[in-house]
C-alpha cells in the first residue's frame, strides 16, 4: 500500500492493516489476496468516516489467480479497481500523463478500459521513474527520493532512485 497525506495517520493505518493481515493468516492459513485487502482497507477507512484517516492510498498486489491489480482510494474509503492511479501531491501532474500513456485511445469505445496494453515489468518501472522525475521538476513537494515496490510471482522487491533535492 502506498499512502500520501498525514504521516501519523498513514503509519497508524498501515499498522492497523498489518495486524488485521496477521489475524487473517492465523484464521485462514494463507495470505490475503489483494481484492480482499482492498475491501478491508475500504471498510477501515469508512469506519472513521467522521474523523477520517488523512491518508490517500493506492493499493497494489496479486489476486488469488496471481494477476496484478491496483486499487485507488480517497480518504474515507471509496475505492475502485483500476489499471493505474496516482494520489497525493503531484498527482495532478502525474495522472494526465499516465492517462496519455496507458488509457485506451477512444473514450467512445465502451467500456473504456485502463491499461489496455499491458506493460512489461521493465517498461512499467521505467515509466514510474520518468513520471516522478517529471513531477519533481514542477511540484515543490515531490522530490528527494523515490521508492518503487515491485510485486510479482517471485515475491516483493524494492528499488530506490534519487530525485531532485530542491
Partner 1 sequence: MFRNQYDTDVTTWSPAGRLFQVEYAMEAVKQGSATIGLRSKTHVVLGCVNKANSELSSHQKKIFKVDDHIGVAIAGLTADGRVLSRYMRNECINYNFTYESPLPVGRLVVQLADKAQVCTQRSWKRPYGVGLLVAGLDESGAHLYYNCPSGNYFEYQAFAIGSRSQAAKTYLERRFENFADSSRDDLVKDALMAIRETLQGETLKSSICTVAVVGVGEPFHILDQETVQQMINAFEIVGEQEGPAAEPDAAAGQEAAAEQGGSTDEGVAPMDI
70, 84 contact by CB (below 8 A)? yes
Minimum CB–partner distance for residue 23 and partner 1 (Å) = 7
User: Among residues 22 and 149, whose Cβ is nearest to partner 1?
Assistant: 22
Query: Does the footprint of partner 1 cover residue 28 (CB under 8 A)?
Result: no
- Which region, judged by CB under 8 A, interacts with partner 1, from 12-20, 92-100, 114-122, 140-148? 12-20
Query: Does the footprint of partner 1 cover residue 165 (CB under 8 A)?
Result: no
Distance CA 86, CA 95 (A): 6
Distance CA 125, CA 65 (A): 23
Pick from 8, 22, 109, 156: which binds partner 1 (CB under 8 A)? 22
> 3-class SS at 81?
strand
Q: Which residues contact 151 (CB under 8 A, 6 or more apart)?
A: 60, 61, 62, 68, 157
User: Among residues 25 and 152, whose Cβ is nearest to partner 1?
Assistant: 25
Query: Does the footprint of partner 1 cover residue 26 (CB under 8 A)?
Result: yes
Amino acid at each position: 500500500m502506498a499512502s500520501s497525506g498525514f504521516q501519523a495517520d498513514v503509519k497508524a493505518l498501515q499498522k492497523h492493516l498489518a495486524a488485521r493481515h496477521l489475524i487473517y493468516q492465523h484464521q485462514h492459513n494463507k495470505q490475503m489476496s489483494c481484492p480482499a485487502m482492498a475491501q478491508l482497507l475500504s471498510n477501515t477507512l469508512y469506519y472513521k468516516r467522521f474523523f477520517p484517516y488523512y491518508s490517500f492510498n493506492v493499493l497494489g498486489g496479486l489476486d488469488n489467480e496471481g494477476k496484478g491489480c491496483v486499487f485507488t482510494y480517497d480518504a474515507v474509503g471509496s475505492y475502485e479497481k483500476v489499471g493505474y492511479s496516482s494520489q497525493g501531491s503531484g498527482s495532478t501532474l502525474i495522472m494526465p500523463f499516465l492517462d496519455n500513456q496507458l488509457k485506451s485511445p477512444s473514450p467512445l469505445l465502451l467500456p473504456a478500459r485502463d491499461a489496455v496494453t499491458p506493460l512489461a515489468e521493465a517498461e512499467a518501472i521505467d515509466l514510474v521513474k520518468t513520471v516522478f522525475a517529471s513531477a519533481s521538476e514542477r511540484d515543490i513537494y515531490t522530490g528527494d527520493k523515490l521508492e518503487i515496490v515491485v510485486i510479482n510471482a517471485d515475491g516483493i522487491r524494492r528499488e530506490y532512485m534519487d530525485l531532485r533535492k530542491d
